[in-house]
Amino acid sequence: MADLAQPAIALRAIEKWYGTRDAPVHALAPTDLEVPEREFLVLLGPSGCGKTTMLRMIGGLIEPTAGELLIEGRGLWKAGQRQGEALSELGMVFQDANLFPWLTIEDNIALPLELKGWPRARRLARAHELMRLTGIAGFERRWPRELSGGMRQRAAIARALSYDPRILLMDEPFGALDAMTREAMNLELQRIWMETRKTVVLVTHSIAEAVFLADRIVLLSPRPGRVDMILPVPFPRPRAPDLQSTPEFQEIVRRLRRRLSEIS
């Protein structure tokens, strides 16, 4: 069991290079970062700043060129191989919901459990529980195409939570949604996060979304991607939509916007 002093995620001199020797791309300069348990951390930055690269490395989808990555104190990579124990603490949500169109919503949410060999009745019970949590109860037997974008993203969150990982990684999860749905989803995500007490790392390029959701914002700058600054967001929870019209909120947004325009 991990003690609370131990960070949920630790990046130690994590670095990423892409491309060939003739045309190398430095996606992420050596970076150190710790994410404490139950923190809501947002990675913010202009395109090409390496925020998605960083998230995908934490999620085990791409291997760092150098450095060490610890998930709940356990190394994620050993000799080029991903470690299953560390991986099972991670749940990923992508920009597109990436639901499988040939599975009903409940089967999509239960897919990770199916891969782990859970019997059908048990994994569907778990899927239904998560559908209530994410607010999509009633859509169990629907095909993904029958749901709106916001609904699909809720299902994707439910799928990522199905095997109860301690960490939720979200790569611009609401980037493809319209503004109104997006705001509603931000509120929903806050509620789900507060109910489940997960550690969340979320990538976005929306400043308002970052400030509304984050405990801390990591601002990344491009070429090569690196941490520009880390900004704590002090507002108490639960945060209401009205927060966004307060001067304090606006002040943080203004600071971030100014810095972003300097570094992009």
From residue 259, give the alpha-carbon distance in Å to each of 45, 244, 251, 253: 10, 19, 12, 10
Residues of this chain that interact with another protein (CB under 8 A) are 59-61, 82, 84, 87-88, 90, 92, 94, 96, 98, 100-103, 111-112, 114-115, 132-139, 142-143, 145-146, 148, 150-151, 180-181, 184-185
- Closest separation in Å from C-beta 248 to another protein: 26
Work out the widest C-alpha separation in the chain, in whole angstroms. Answer: 54
- Closest separation in Å from C-beta 38 to another protein: 21
**Smallest Cα–Cα separation from 216: which of 236, 197, 231?**
231
- Closest separation in Å from C-beta 150 to another protein: 4
- Of 190 and 221, CB closest to another protein: 190
- Closest separation in Å from C-beta 215 to another protein: 24
- Closest separation in Å from C-beta 151 to another protein: 7
- Of 21 and 102, CB closest to another protein: 102
Phi/psi of residue 40, each to 5°? -105, 105
Strand pairing category for 9-19 and 24-35: antiparallel
CA distance 137 to 121: 17
- Of 1 and 180, CB closest to another protein: 180
- Of 167 and 219, CB closest to another protein: 167
CA distance 228 to 45: 9
- Of 138 and 238, CB closest to another protein: 138
| DSSP H helical ranges for 116-246 | 120-133, 149-161, 179-196, 207-213
- Of 65 and 88, CB closest to another protein: 88
CA distance 167 to 147: 26
Is-contact 134 198, C-beta < 8 A?
Answer: no
- Closest separation in Å from C-beta 4 to another protein: 26
CA distance 264 to 260: 6
- Closest separation in Å from C-beta 178 to another protein: 9
- Of 115 and 194, CB closest to another protein: 115
Tokens 């060999």 identify what position?
117
